[in-house]
Structure 1
């Protein structure tokens, strides 16, 4: 790390859900599966028919029965460093996971086992997000403007050229459109980088907000939804349209998202709060999930179900349960 203070700042600002809480010791193994209650998980993804989750102490777990049972993936290096983000190639076999100390792991078997390809014990900036471009290149971004590209499947990495506006800002998330032709990188101090050529080149969007963005998602209308700290959510309704602030009834920081088949957008964030939008992201109602944890990510496994990761473990997500509690719109966090 550059300095202890610098890493503290990265931990608090870059991705609050992943970095602001001390890792927790995972529960003991159950006879037939891994317990997922109480551990700190930062990312959860549906990869083909498999669920994968990663987080504190470098743990990666997978489930082949929609979360009924979990198994611990094999890692060839036990760094016990925080993992923040995962991404997979279209074959659902090759994937990368990234985290603190510049840690990069690669899998070739869909997440059952992982090998270390990079780790920087001294002065290693946290890596916050990873993605695979249509070209086959992999990119990863992180704290202090860190951005790298790999052209050989993640084995070797070189600095990635980004606009000067990046400076030393923390880069928190890489997001893409469904067709992988349009991309965003979002970060602190309102930074939004955009690519309309499948990630080949990047341009900075004109500033429209001065706080931290934690994540972004493409909308079904070809626009973008960007969100982050203190309930600040912004919608670009269509390509090139102006950015408009969405209506959110409380200052809840959001970190992950999913979109249901009917178009409903679900954001997850601090205080176990869910942000629910039925109008394409123009406005959100708040509802509370289980407990009081910081929700970090969400993955849908079917038309009415899924899983949410948090700093307090994994919990099931049910559209039916959400609908049953719809009277809680506007609930205080």
Structure 2
């Protein structure tokens, strides 16, 4: 994984065919503020960030774990495992999981990080946890792994991809989430959104299209967003049962999205960030220098603020 800018062929584990985006001066910018709260060395990268019971956790290059209680002060005291890049992290009730390059999966329950045997060697882009030990990790070439013991052991979900996506192909699965009912959602290539109601044993298609989807967020209220290539923003108001595109006013590659408790959302990506109101039919562009200069591969919510992470281990605080 490259640690630098847009010239790298792979950013945050995603093969990007075109990192350009189009901005129109007529697009209204949302009323919001942003500030850089952390920046690492030039070759550092933060690929994943997530809310934890004690603030925020972030992972990135060289297997490093970063922590912050308030979103402003960040520390990296140790590596999770080896030097492989980590792309995503999850914490639930003290149970920690991190995933990354070469099928790397690492687990900690307060007794130090341990490498977990994975059934695949493909790069893992995402990890999420639910109740009762349910967890999911997803990655390249159709890798969908499920655990029912908090990530201590994993089984590969046997998915009939031609039946699910209508193509004889194993798509990259870029993101995943588990809702309050224990249902697993995955997103990826070909506009794929799919769901399993039985811990990965069977799957149903909820959406398909042309643009790959990289980011996914679900709220307990039934509001959900999926974002991806060409400024694609999909919204669900019924707990993921149906998805409808909304106007994004962007052609950017959007890499992740997060939802605040009041339903407002922010999507970030390649030189672009958007704010989305749950009552609006279109997103609004955040024309801030911090976003126009860099890429941000993941975003999380702490309190009322959004925190996006990306190249040079930058952390940007976004207030709406």
Q: Distance in 2 between matches of 1:42 and 1:74?
A: 15
Ranges in structure 1 where 5+ consecutive residues have no aligned partner: 1-10, 22-33, 323-333
Which residue does 1:311 correspond to in 2? 311
Whether the aligned pair in 2 keeps the contact of 1:235 and 1:282 (CA below 8 Å) is: no
Evaluate the alpha carbon distance shift between residue 173 and residue 195 of structure 1 in structure 2; reply closer, same or farther with a 3 A threshold: same
Deviation at 1:249, TM superposition (A): 0.9
Trace 1:95-114 onto structure 2 (pairs within 5 A). Answer: 95-109=96-110, 113-114=112-113
Which residue does 1:36 correspond to in 2? 40
**Residues 1:296 and 2:297 are matched in the alignment:** yes
Whether the aligned pair in 2 keeps the contact of 1:51 and 1:67 (CA below 8 Å) is: no
Find runs of 4+ consecutive structure 1 residues off by over 4 angstroms. Answer: 239-242
CA deviations over 1:127-155 (Å, ceiling 9, x no partner)? 11122243413322211111223344433
CA deviations over 1:204-223 (Å, ceiling 9, x no partner)? 32554122111222256524
Which residue does 1:230 correspond to in 2? 230
- Specify the SS of the correspondent of 2:191: coil
Whether the aligned pair in 2 keeps the contact of 1:187 and 1:212 (CA below 8 Å) is: yes
- Count the aligned residue pairs: 283
Q: Distance in 2 between matches of 1:133 and 1:302?
A: 21
Which residue does 1:118 correspond to in 2? 117
Ranges in structure 2 where 5+ consecutive residues have no aligned partner: 1-8, 17-37
Evaluate the alpha carbon distance shift between residue 153 and residue 312 of structure 1 in structure 2; reply closer, same or farther with a 3 A threshold: same
Q: Distance in 2 between matches of 1:280 and 1:103?
A: 40
Which residue does 1:218 correspond to in 2? 218
Which residue does 2:34 correspond to in 1? none
Trace 1:1-333 onto structure 2 (pairs within 5 A). Answer: 12=10, 16-19=11-14, 36=40, 38=42, 39-75=44-80, 77-78=81-82, 80-89=83-92, 91=93, 93-109=94-110, 113-118=112-117, 124-164=121-161, 165=164, 167-177=169-179, 179-196=180-197, 199=199, 201-205=201-205, 207-219=207-219, 221-239=221-239, 242-271=242-271, 273-280=272-279, 282-289=281-288, 290=290, 292-303=293-304, 305-319=305-319
Higher relative contact order (CA 8 A, sep 6+): 2
Evaluate the alpha carbon distance shift between residue 20 and residue 187 of structure 1 in structure 2; reply closer, same or farther with a 3 A threshold: closer
Q: TM-score, normalised by structure 2?
A: 0.77
- Specify the SS of the correspondent of 2:298: strand
Whether the aligned pair in 1 keeps the contact of 2:206 and 2:241 (CA below 8 Å) is: no
Whether the aligned pair in 2 keeps the contact of 1:264 and 1:280 (CA below 8 Å) is: no
Whether the aligned pair in 1 keeps the contact of 2:274 and 2:286 (CA below 8 Å) is: yes
Q: Give the structure with the larger helix fraction.
A: 1
Evaluate the alpha carbon distance shift between residue 175 and residue 154 of structure 1 in structure 2; reply closer, same or farther with a 3 A threshold: closer
Whether the aligned pair in 2 keeps the contact of 1:294 and 1:312 (CA below 8 Å) is: no
- Specify the SS of the correspondent of 2:315: strand
Q: Distance in 2 between matches of 1:195 and 1:81?
A: 30
Q: TM-score, normalised by structure 1?
A: 0.75
- Specify the SS of the correspondent of 1:141: strand
- Specify the SS of the correspondent of 1:238: coil
Deviation at 1:257, TM superposition (A): 2.0
